């Protein structure tokens, strides 16, 4: 039966090529626009570490100015002071914990012919690699001891290892960085979580850094920090005073395996702040937060506002295209009234007619969906072109999106076809036959 319906649909589509083309175009444009924006949103709002995103928590303490809140909505500041971060790390109350900050340094290759170059890096404590499931090509992270003893160890990204050592296993080799030699303990395999959830304050879709070294090196001031620093209270003279100041520039994540661990950790944070209050710090009401990965992504508005705006508009655009298709299908099917009357008189049941016209609507939908996919692909190319690096890796179609596009096209065209089909099937055969 389906083959017969398909043949009838094909004949009918060929009878009015202009109109059919218009319908396919309308659905195609609607689906294309919707899929372009939905894809960008879907990739922006993806869970970067699905298997443990509910066990990783971003730590916030409200150490801000007693006279005004850090954020208008009452949220605590988005980073920690160095003194609080190091104190919480030392307390080791979570299953795993990491403190970190973004840094940068100049690498001087041993080869006298190559010029020194600037690289982006991260200073982090030892648990970083285990907590965030960082894949390694060679070697691995460093131990807690390395942190505490400020050992000159370093983990390289695959790219930097390629540049410095031609991609060979460089574990045990030395790299001259920021004027000092660091020993390579590990080389990461390709790793690019999107969003780069572990630090969204410096750009949620930035590249992963090129090197990692123990956080304790920050205290020597040899390594230059380049993340965000915010102060509500002037710090004293000198670097030591800066480290002890109320300036926030350090970030902390903890891994807590279940609700009771989370509750215990929150209690610990509250106790810590109460203790600090006695020292005259933390003059604001207690406002400590633990946000899991997806909560933190939402809080930091990782999905850009423009992306949401475009999605809303493109869905409305799809609606216009569907209204268009309904109108055109209605016109088309109603013009077939004489034919429908004739077929009914010859014994075709309403169900059969219904199935047949819906098949036709579905065919147009699938054709529109295919066109829509092409347009979505073009749209995403356009978006990468317009936004450049900002959208790197965020403008690609994957299997799920292709399937969604086809489903959306089919469902929306069937929905659009429902009313026109119903109207076509309620044609009175006698009247149609009479007028002939």
E strand or H helix that includes residue 29: helix 17-44
Report the C-alpha gap between 64 and 60 in whole angstroms.
11
Note the helical H segments in 215-290. 239-243, 259-278
Kindly state whether residue 335 participates in binding other proteins, applying the rule CB under 8 A.
Answer: yes
Report the C-alpha gap between 318 and 81 in whole angstroms.
48
Q: Which residue number, 14 or 51, has a Cβ lying nearer to other proteins?
A: 14
DSSP label at residue 115: P
Q: How far is the CB of 118 from other proteins (least distance, A)?
A: 6
The region of 26-34, 89-97, 267-275, 398-406 touching other proteins under the rule CB under 8 A is 26-34
Site for other proteins in 367-426 (CB under 8 A): 382-383, 386-388, 390, 419, 423
Q: Please give the size of the binding site for other proteins, defined by CB under 8 A.
A: 60
Q: How far is the CB of 305 from other proteins (least distance, A)?
A: 6
Report the C-alpha gap between 77 and 287 in whole angstroms.
10
Q: How far is the CB of 164 from other proteins (least distance, A)?
A: 16
Q: Which residue number, 141 or 379, has a Cβ lying nearer to other proteins?
A: 379
Name the CA dihedral angle for 426, 4, 321, 17, rounded to a multiple of 10 degrees. Answer: -100
Q: Which residue number, 115 or 399, has a Cβ lying nearer to other proteins?
A: 115
Q: How far is the CB of 380 from other proteins (least distance, A)?
A: 12
Report the C-alpha gap between 8 and 17 in whole angstroms.
14
Query: What is the DSSP secondary-structure string of 40-96?
Result: HHHHHT--SSTTTTTTEEEEE-----TTS-SSTT-PPPSSEEHHHHHHHHHHT-SSE
Q: How far is the CB of 237 from other proteins (least distance, A)?
A: 6
Q: Work out which of 15, 71, 192, 224 binds other proteins, going by CB under 8 A.
A: 224
The region of 4-12, 191-199, 231-239, 340-348 touching other proteins under the rule CB under 8 A is 231-239
Burial-class residue 239 by CB neighbours within 10 Å (0-12, 13-18, 19+): exposed
Buried/exposed code over 287-300 (b: 16+ C-beta within 10 A; e: otherwise): bbbbbbbbebbebb
Kindly state whether residue 33 participates in binding other proteins, applying the rule CB under 8 A.
Answer: yes
Instruction: Tokens 């799809």: give the residue.
Output: 318
* 3 state SS of 176: strand
The region of 236-244, 267-275, 280-288, 295-303 touching other proteins under the rule CB under 8 A is 236-244
Name the CA dihedral angle for 389, 395, 399, 402, rounded to a multiple of 10 degrees. Answer: -170
Q: Work out which of 93, 96, 332, 343 binds other proteins, going by CB under 8 A.
A: 332
Q: Work out which of 13, 24, 26, 254 binds other proteins, going by CB under 8 A.
A: 26
Asked if residues 361 and 13 have their Cβ atoms less than 8 Å apart, the reply is no
Question: What is the tally of helices (H) and strands (E) in the chain?
Answer: 14, 12
The region of 1-9, 139-147, 182-190, 229-237 touching other proteins under the rule CB under 8 A is 229-237
Asked if residues 221 and 239 have their Cβ atoms less than 8 Å apart, the reply is yes
Site string for other proteins, 90-129 (x = CB under 8 A): --------------x-x-x------xxxx-----------
Asked if residues 397 and 43 have their Cβ atoms less than 8 Å apart, the reply is no
Q: How far is the CB of 223 from other proteins (least distance, A)?
A: 10
Site string for other proteins, 289-328 (x = CB under 8 A): ---------------xxx-xxx-xxx-xx-xxx-xx-xxx
Q: Work out which of 19, 397, 414, 415 binds other proteins, going by CB under 8 A.
A: 19
Q: List beta partners, residue 289.
A: 60
Site for other proteins in 53-72 (CB under 8 A): 67
Contact set with other proteins (CB under 8 A): 19, 22, 25-26, 29, 33, 67, 104, 106, 108, 115-118, 178-179, 224, 226, 234-239, 241-242, 304-306, 308-310, 312-314, 316-317, 319-321, 323-324, 326-328, 330-332, 334-335, 382-383, 386-388, 390, 419, 423, 435-436
């Amino acid at each position: 039966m389906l083959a017969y319906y398909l043949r009838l649909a094909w004949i009918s589509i060929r009878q009015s090529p202009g109109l059919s083309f218009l319908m396919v175009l309308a659905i195609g444009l609607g689906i294309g626009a919707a899929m372009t924006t939905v894809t960008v949103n879907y990739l922006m709002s993806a869970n970067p570490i699905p298997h443990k995103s509910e066990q990783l928590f971003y730590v916030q303490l409200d150490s801000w100015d007693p006279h005004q809140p850090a954020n208008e909505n009452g949220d605590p500041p988005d980073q920690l002071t160095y003194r609080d971060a190091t104190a919480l790390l030392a307390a080791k109350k979570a299953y795993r914990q990491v403190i970190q900050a973004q840094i940068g340094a100049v690498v001087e290759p041993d080869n006298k012919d190559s010029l020194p170059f600037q690289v982006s890096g991260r200073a982090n404590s030892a648990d970083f690699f285990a907590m965030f499931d960082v894949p390694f090509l060679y070697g691995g992270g460093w131990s807690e001891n390395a942190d505490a003893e400020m050992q000159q160890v370093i983990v390289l990204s695959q790219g930097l290892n390629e540049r410095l050592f031609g991609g060979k296993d460089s574990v045990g080799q030395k790299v001259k960085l920021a004027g000092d030699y660091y020993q390579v303990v590990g080389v990461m395999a390709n790793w690019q979580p999107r969003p780069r959830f572990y630090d969204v304050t410096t750009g949620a879709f930035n590249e992963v850094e090129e090197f990692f070294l123990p956080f304790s090196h920050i205290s020597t001031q040899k390594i230059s920090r380049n993340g965000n620093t915010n102060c509500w209270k002037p710090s004293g003279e000198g670097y030591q005073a800066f480290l002890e100041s109320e300036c926030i520039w350090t970030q902390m994540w903890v891994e807590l395996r279940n609700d009771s661990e989370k509750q215990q950790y929150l209690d610990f944070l509250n106790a810590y702040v109460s203790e600090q209050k006695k020292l005259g710090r933390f003059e604001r009401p207690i406002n400590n937060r633990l946000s899991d990965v997806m909560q933190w992504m939402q809080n930091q508005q990782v999905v850009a506002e423009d992306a949401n705006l475009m999605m809303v508009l493109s869905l409305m655009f799809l609606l216009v295209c569907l209204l268009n298709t309904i109108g055109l299908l209605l016109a088309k099917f109603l013009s077939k009234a004489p034919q429908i009357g004739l077929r009914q008189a010859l014994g075709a049941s309403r169900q059969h007619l219904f199935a047949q016209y819906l098949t036709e609507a579905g065919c147009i939908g699938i054709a529109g969906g295919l066109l829509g996919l092409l347009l979505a692909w073009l749209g995403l190319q356009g978006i990468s072109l317009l936004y450049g690096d900002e959208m790197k890796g965020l403008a690609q179609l994957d299997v799920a999106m292709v399937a969604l596009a086809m489903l959306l096209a089919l469902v929306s065209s069937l929905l659009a076809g429902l009313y026109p089909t119903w109207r076509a099937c309620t044609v009175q055969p006698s009247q149609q036959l009479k007028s002939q």
